[in-house]
Chains A and B, each alone.
Chain A
Amino acid sequence: MIPLTIIGGYLGAGKSTLLQRLVREPGDRILGLLINDFGSINIDAELIASADHDKVELTNGCICCSLADGFHEALETLLLRDPTPDHILVEASGVADVHSLAQYGHHPELSLSGVLVVVDSETVRDKSKDPYVGRTITRHIEAADLIIANKQDLASDAERERLKAWLASVNPAAPILPTTSANVPIDIALGHRVTDPTPSMLNDRNLASPEADHLFDANRTSGHATFARWMWQHDSVCLPDDVEPFLKAIPSTIWRLKGWLETGDGILEIQKVGARHSIRARSDMNKTGQSLIAIGLADTFESARLDQLAAQHLTTPDKDNTI
């Protein structure tokens, strides 16, 4: 299953800037991008390996497909590619119905990794009253799993606070990431790239540094958004029925959570983005124990609470034998 991320937001919010960043530094991922207009992404010439009218291949392995022939066709092109991309990103147009696009993420061959909606912190509240597109803009925000409040530098302190309150009133469930220049860490935007559960999960290159479970700086220039990670491993077996309550209990300050849980019936892959979570049986996996990783904003992060929730819901060693 290939994770699918939808990047939505109105014209000028910073979607293209975000995509540019991700495609330039995809980490060890091969990204497949579905985009509206190659021109808007402005890919550096030295990064381009080959280009034709509906496809651009990059030297780092990533590939951009045009949506000119329609969404479904472009998606098929990416899925039939060899090798298939590790992650598919969709640049939704400024008026696209992102909620509907996100439904493709529930197709059997895909998994929805999140709907990211980028807003222009300076103008979005005004624009939401526009007679032509106001409702479109609030629909975007309603559909978001994560809201990226971009261009913070252009908004006054007071406006930033008003914006935060307004976004929360439109979509109370989605975490809000304040940023400038669409500077969003790739692990936040796309989730952790962890293809293999324990134990190599914790040796994943992204997590290898000794500071990995401490604070890290996402916004080196302005430094006003720092993130924290939490990782957890246990060799118990949990009950399938306990997984959903666990995910529901995760506080909204946790932006992304991913992991694998061993149950009496096999491995479950769990994922949480903002308020939405998914649980999928992974009969193809043959692992033992449990591994979780979570990420959120540093100043509201609750590691102890996560430890407690995991212990409460997921560590009942012999419970399965009593069934």
Chain B
Amino acid sequence: MVTILEAKRIVTMNPGNTYATHIAIKDGIILGVGPLEELTGWGEYTLDRTFADQVFVPGFVEAHAHVMAGGMLLLPFMGFYDRYRGDGSLARGIKSYDALIEALREEEGAIEDPDQPLVAVGFDPIYFGDQPRLSRHHLDQVSTTRPIFIYHASGHLATVNSAMLAAHQVTKDIQVEGLGRDADGELDGELREPPAMSLCRSGYGAVQRVNNTEAAMVEFGKQATNCGITTCTDLGGLSLLSDKFLAPWQSVTRGEHYPLRVAQYNIGAIPGSQADCEAAAERLMDIRKDEHEKLRFPGVKFILDGSIQGFSALLNPPGYFQGSDHGQLLVVPEQLQSMLQPFHARGINIHMHCNGNATQDLAIDTIDQLLRAFPWFDHRHTITHAQLTTQAQLRKMANLGLCANFFSNHLWYWGDQHYEITVGPERAHQLEPCASAVRAGVPFSVHSDAGVTPLGSLHTMWCAVNRMTPSGRTLGEEEKISPLQGLKAVTIDAAYQLHLDHEIGSLEAGKKADIAILAEDPLSVDPMHIKDIDVLGTFLAGELYPAAGSNV
């Protein structure tokens, strides 16, 4: 049976047939997009006018996110900015220590088992710079008996209460370096880096375990639907050689009505280590045999350095503006080529996490070498994050066929910090250089890196279009892109770098009937309004998935 959906406007992202009003769907596949009279010839049909006042765009494609976005919202969320859970409920941003203590008290009261630790996530001390550091004394105001573990947004720190320290016999005599201490040498409850955090294993373990659970994957899918995403990467935190990710993903995505196509990219080698990449590449080829409509394994991810705001990304001169440089590669440069080669030679797409531009030089040069040894014109290997990409790097990336995936959400979430602290004004203006990528001819997408920032393609697109910071600064007028270019970067061009653009990312005959249902047209509204457009839900393979709280 053919269904024809009517919309106020359909933005197809197919440059050969840009706008329409109707879309005909059968068995999850698009038969055609056009005016009604051009579609009726497909046979007996039902005309569905439920969304006749709404706008359809291709279901959004998020090319850099993590299932952690789901996992972390299964735990109490203490981030500075608001976040919405999959069920539409709001985790309100925490703007003061008093609010934090109050929110934690509420969570504490809701736990029945007196021995169960309270583990919360998302706290970011960067927004409380004018206050003393969060310490166990703050958290002792929540409870002196229940162990509490607050995992920070950076993933590098935690703060715990006295009961948590006592529960794991963590005393001031322990000499692990990351144990925070006050002026008298007493523990203050801050735990820096994994050797210290893992001392309180009931808390640290809970944070680690929550991500690779079916519950996290279900929550991830709901959040995606709420913001119109129909295909989302999970750039997994696990090695391809690990056996922990496959079974839960298979089970969840094969469940009835899972609302998302998941493009899974696991990592070739745990950052800072090396691994048997030949075996990892073989494993990838092997698990592809069990791919299905909602679970694909398009490629592999490698993490090559740290983050800019953590000062752990490797920068070319002149280096960091303020703060101390901890920039470090997480791969041995001489080994990178041999690590990538097993994937490249098998025709497997590679996404490389590079935050620093020195790291990015290494990635680009390594791909250059690989292409000489194993020519492949359509590799679509991608530099992901690519925040400080220079003009010279864009020229070379264009020559080599490399794609970029810019972390445009950084412009909003840390734009002021980059301007004032990390890289200084000039380079902050050229962060996420989307317009330069257009000029250089480098295909690119933009991403949220969810859960680092919230999932939300309209927001991510808004950042690339408006380049505005919370203080009201515009970062880099000349790097702004048009709403159309922005929409490409969260639909068809994101699909391109996953090698899925022939199936998804635009609305055209033969492709999947994956649609985001919007209250307004992102190409016609005031560009500053793009992030506030209501998402009513999605169609995935022609099946309706309403967003939480929408009345459809």
B194 within 8 A of A: yes
- Give chain A nearest CB distance to B160 CB in angstroms: 16
Contact of A37 among B239, B275, B314, B327 (CB under 8 A): B275
- Give chain B nearest CB distance to A140 CB in angstroms: 11
Contact A96 B333 (CB under 8 A): no
Contact B270 A133 (CB under 8 A): no
- Give chain B nearest CB distance to A139 CB in angstroms: 8
- Say yes or no: A107-B176 contact (C-beta < 8 A), given A69-B244, A132-B314, A136-B329: yes
A100 within 8 A of B: yes
Chain B residue contacts of A36, Cβ below 8 A? 273-275
- Name which of A53, A68, A136 has the most chain B CB atoms within 10 A of its CB: A68
Cα A11 to Cα B272 in complex, Å, equals: 12
Chain B residue contacts of A103, Cβ below 8 A? 176-178, 193, 195-196
Contact B275 A97 (CB under 8 A): no
A94 within 8 A of B: yes
Chain B's interface size range is: 35 or more
A71 within 8 A of B: yes
Chain B, residues 321-340, CB within 8 Å of chain A (1/0): the string is 00000011111111100000
Determine the main DSSP class of A at the interface with B: loop
Nearest A-chain residue to B205, judged by Cβ = A72
Contact of A96 among B177, B193, B273, B335 (CB under 8 A): B273
Contact B239 A68 (CB under 8 A): yes
Contact A94 B335 (CB under 8 A): yes
Chain A residue contacts of B279, Cβ below 8 A? 53
Nearest B-chain residue to A132, judged by Cβ = B333
- Give chain B nearest CB distance to A145 CB in angstroms: 14
Cα A107 to Cα B195 in complex, Å, equals: 8
A135 within 8 A of B: yes
In chain B, residues 300-331, which have Cβ atoms closer than 8 Å to a Cβ of chain A? 314, 327-331
- Give chain A nearest CB distance to B241 CB in angstroms: 5
In chain A, residues 254-302, which have Cβ atoms closer than 8 Å to a Cβ of chain B? 278
- Say yes or no: A136-B328 contact (C-beta < 8 A), given A39-B276, A68-B241: yes
Chain A residue contacts of B176, Cβ below 8 A? 103-104, 106-107
- Say yes or no: A69-B238 contact (C-beta < 8 A), given A39-B276, A107-B199: yes
Chain A, residues 16-47, CB within 8 Å of chain B (1/0): the string is 00000000000000000000111110000000
Contact B358 A68 (CB under 8 A): no
A223 within 8 A of B: no
Cα A104 to Cα B195 in complex, Å, equals: 5
Contact of B194 among A40, A53, A71, A96 (CB under 8 A): A71
Contact B328 A68 (CB under 8 A): no
Cα A11 to Cα B335 in complex, Å, equals: 9
Cα A103 to Cα B199 in complex, Å, equals: 11
Chain A residue contacts of B241, Cβ below 8 A? 53-54, 66, 68
Contact of B332 among A69, A94, A101 (CB under 8 A): A94
- Name which of B193, B198, B238 has the most chain A CB atoms within 10 A of its CB: B198
Nearest B-chain residue to A69, judged by Cβ = B242
B362 within 8 A of A: yes
Cα A278 to Cα B173 in complex, Å, equals: 11
- Name which of B169, B199, B273, B275 has the most chain A CB atoms within 10 A of its CB: B273
Cα A99 to Cα B176 in complex, Å, equals: 11
Chain B residue contacts of A132, Cβ below 8 A? 314, 329, 333, 358, 362
A227 within 8 A of B: no
Cα A39 to Cα B327 in complex, Å, equals: 29
Cα A72 to Cα B209 in complex, Å, equals: 13
Cα A101 to Cα B198 in complex, Å, equals: 12
A230 within 8 A of B: no
A210 within 8 A of B: no
Chain B residue contacts of A72, Cβ below 8 A? 194, 198, 208
Chain B residue contacts of A68, Cβ below 8 A? 239, 241-242, 269-270, 273, 275
Cα A108 to Cα B239 in complex, Å, equals: 29
In chain B, residues 234-265, which have Cβ atoms closer than 8 Å to a Cβ of chain A? 238-239, 241-242, 244
A131 within 8 A of B: yes
A236 within 8 A of B: no
B174 within 8 A of A: yes
- Say yes or no: A131-B358 contact (C-beta < 8 A), given A72-B198, A97-B272: yes
Contact of A93 among B276, B327, B332 (CB under 8 A): B332
- Give chain A nearest CB distance to B216 CB in angstroms: 18
Cα A69 to Cα B335 in complex, Å, equals: 20
Chain A residue contacts of B335, Cβ below 8 A? 11, 94
Chain A residue contacts of B276, Cβ below 8 A? 37-39
In chain B, residues 172-213, which have Cβ atoms closer than 8 Å to a Cβ of chain A? 174-178, 193-196, 198-199, 208
- Give chain B nearest CB distance to A85 CB in angstroms: 19
- Give chain A nearest CB distance to B522 CB in angstroms: 40
Chain A, residues 62-100, CB within 8 Å of chain B (1/0): the string is 000011111110000000000000000000011111011
Nearest B-chain residue to A70, judged by Cβ = B270
- Name which of B178, B274, B330 has the most chain A CB atoms within 10 A of its CB: B274
Cα A53 to Cα B275 in complex, Å, equals: 11
Cα A73 to Cα B302 in complex, Å, equals: 20
A and B contact pairs by CB, cutoff 8 A, 7 listed: A11-B332, A71-B194, A100-B195, A103-B193, A108-B174, A132-B329, A135-B328
Residues in chain B within 8 A of chain A (CB atoms): 169, 174-178, 193-196, 198-199, 208, 238-239, 241-242, 244, 269-270, 272-276, 279, 314, 327-335, 358, 362
Query: Other CB < 8 Å A-B pairs besides A69-B244, A71-B194, A93-B332, 10 of them?
Result: A53-B279, A54-B241, A67-B273, A68-B269, A72-B198, A106-B174, A106-B177, A108-B174, A131-B358, A132-B362
